Structure 1
Amino acid sequence: MEPKFGANGTAITEFVLLGLVETPGLRPVIFVIFLFAYLVTVGGNLSILTAILVEPKLHTPMYFFLGNLSVLDIGCITVTVPSMLGRLLSHRRAVPYGACLTQLFFFHQLAGVDCFLLTAMAYDRFLAICRPLTYSTRMSQTVQRILVAVSWACAFTNALTHTVAISTLNFCGPNVINHFYCDLPQLFQLSCSSTQLNELLLFGLGILMAGAPVILIVTSYIHVAVAVLRIRSAEGRKKAFSTCGSHLTVVGIFYGTGVFSYMRLGSVEASDKDKGIGILNTVISPMLNPVIYSLRNPDVQGALQRVFTGKRALA
């Protein structure tokens, strides 16, 4: 994918990512912190994934979606952090034009799947609590696989659309991005051609990719809350709210940071707030997800304990 030439006959062939800090003395500290965060995130999500695969008790739709979420979390942090660590080691902050757009594509692909997967998880909780008699047929293995496949297909379409659209823009300087990875808002600011159509496209697809899922999630949980409050057993209500609470926490972090990142494109300057939101999106959220789900879930805790101790579940 070649950069477009500007009116002055020159074109940007690479972007310069300033990273998180510009002080040389702080770079080793940042490297250690983010390497640790990366290893913890990959290790935590692989542990959850292993527990789901080896524990028969967790072979249910809810944990099938949770396993897919763990794969996405590993992918999301891998798209951004290793390249940042490489630049810190090499002291080279330049990123080729094609590599920048490739990173953008994969980031939006994985984030898009996350949108739909979190919606599928909310729908699963709705069926399990509000429609228990028809749950096994409405959430069969075929339905689960279709939901995941459609999520990947829709996210691919969204990511490809944005990548192709931004490749039509002219970049003729400057080429400095005040961030640690390539993303749409920062690239819009560097374009020397009009980004109005790109911004409208981002807003329109954002409504479909985020707005519609949020409405479905909220609707599902309104029905879930009504159904749970009707449960007479205090223990039953506690278990239902515990399971749903973990998912709602993840949804809140994911959508909250996403809205802040992409719905304020009128801001011309790239601030440190963007970097902070980027860290939440790509590092903190994937790292917290295994903790959120395992701390509040005795089934996952038991499975993880058996994975680490080598013990098998009792029949």
Structure 2
Amino acid sequence: MPMRWNPEIHPDEITPEGLFRQRRQIMRAAAGVGVGALLGLDPWHALAAAGKDLPDVRSGVVTTADKETPFLSATTYNNFYELGLGKEDPAKWADHLVVDPWSVTIDGAVGRPGRVALDELLRPHPLEERVYRLRCVEGWSMVIPWVGFPLGDLLKRFEPGGSARFVAFETVHDPERLPGQSRDILAWPYREGLRLDEAMHPLTILAVGMYGKGLPNQNGAPLRLVVPWKYGFKSIKSIVRITLTEEQPVTSWNAHAPEEYGFYANVNPAVPHPRWDQSKERRIGTLWRQDTLMFNGYGEQVARLYEGMDLTRNF
């Protein structure tokens, strides 16, 4: 019987081909260990359980009463242009990102610059869960339980100098493996930046996991920024360099299309994107739309950072 298209099914609810194949692999593996062991168990749960549990994660900050986005939706509907332009491409090509070994260079206006292996970088920092909203400039949003620690705690270890006013970030550059970086989409590697006071704000975290497990490659493993009051493109993935600087750094999307993507990128429903409205958003995993909140709902915590600024010009 031929397949019929169901108009009530939204494209982001369709299983990507890559994950469909993983599902089949899980079921074949179940046959090898005894099908009865997984009878009644949703195979997507088995896929999630195959990830590495993060030990000693504190229960931390819940910043919204909104329902969490399902794990499957949060890991199969992504923007990560290094792994392709389509929303399903990051999950499909996730194994092209090599995350072990991994190190991060901390340099610029700091007293203790250096290149640090990931385990050494993370060791002094207790991990906690932070349930944050994430709003994409394209009009969709998620609610994700991130696992990480405050970026400010890390920066203090490397002794920011008195001239430091901004923090610049850089993503891994590996065009031989990452399919998106072989295309002239952006000027690679991907770069982002924050003002130092934004970076030191307690809501700004470095995430190493989500849903209690290690960060999936398609979500920015092994280390990504999460700034919940800004549009998602500010939360740079797969970080390899953090630089403190006196000058405002060049950021990838602002350099590529400055009329569309500002340096600050604060969620502001009153400032429409030139190609679409920003006053509404659709929560991934659902079909309904809702009003977009100023600063993504975190205004009480962060609005003071922008007192006296015209946020229609400094967008």
Settle same-fold status: TM greater than 0.5: no
The structure that is helix-richer by fraction is 1
**Highest relative contact order (Cα 8 Å, sep 6+), 1 or 2?**
1
Q: So what's the TM-score if we normalise by structure 2?
A: 0.22
| Bigger-Rg structure (1/2) | 1
Structure 1 length-normalised TM? 0.22
- Which structure is higher in strand share? 2
